[in-house]
Structure 1
């Protein structure tokens, strides 16, 4: 494989996060990462993911750092998972929520595979905490398509939200949408300019349509593959050096 292909492969490699890990390493086809972020373990805020964000979002992150002593440098720039798992699994498995999850013995193979695969760098991005980690992308079902549609429709209004006060040190930070000041720029920054928004995804969830949820998962795989291709081409050298320093290559 050439350099770009190596980078792309790592972007699509599943991540496991555990605060007890000492270093970032590749084990049995998974990237195991510790986490300095103060909250509970979450792959999209693992140390491995944070290093990735600080490379591809270097031009928009204040001070080029996501964390300061384990806390967000700015809650406007928080790591999050683009395409989630639980809402899709709830419908496919006829569960009410993740707390009543069915035994894996009855999971279809494609859902079991998706649970393993969706935590990867190609499926992680940085958005305001108020939109991602705190509000499921402004919707009940944590849908990427619904969120992108909201942004496309209401981008100008989000630019006029008041700056968020970071209560830990009482500082104010610039509104995320004033830094990334158009929807087209948002798509470009996140390497998803070619993404085709699936309309009315909320109806798929509301109607608990299992077959359409399965198709959504198929679309997610395609979108992760395409984003990994774009990122690996745009940031080949920077990411190759990062992965090399960690001993993943």
Structure 2
């Protein structure tokens, strides 16, 4: 039986490449995206299904959950990939509204989507949730590697991913029958960083794909990259 897999924010970048790779691995992939035209175009090019899904809109999330319920009756893999960088500004110059925008997508969006799809994941024999985090979320690495230049690491983005790591841990304990982990793609060339980065999206999706395909007795409550567990 093929795994049914939903990937949010998957019309481009890391989400799209994850969709391509999991589709090639035999998953029945559904990509979610805010923009119906771009999302459907990406789905058509990849040969996968599309559902309109705006992670900041509860009605959109609920409609997507109903659609997948009607089409498939279960979900085996949820990849919470949708995310934004937010403003590039020093932390003392950002506003609460700036922070709210980033958290609404990168953190609250994960809560909206995950909670809406838990009933479908519970119908799976081997449910997996992968939250796309970042190495800049690590308190240890921020200090050791000096991730303090806001031109390179937007503070609000880093903060939102640190919170996502804790959310991942909390879900792993609240949902013991599921494998809930976070993946750090590393410094990947995408639109999110203006095409900068140390590697391409294929390498950047290695850990996401690994965690999306782990066995039912695999790890849970971890944050990792392709080198191993990320020091928090």
Question: By the TM > 0.5 criterion, same fold?
Answer: no
Relative contact order (C-alpha < 8 Å, sep 6+): which is higher?
Answer: 1
Instruction: Please report the TM-score for the alignment, with normalisation by the length of structure 2.
Output: 0.30
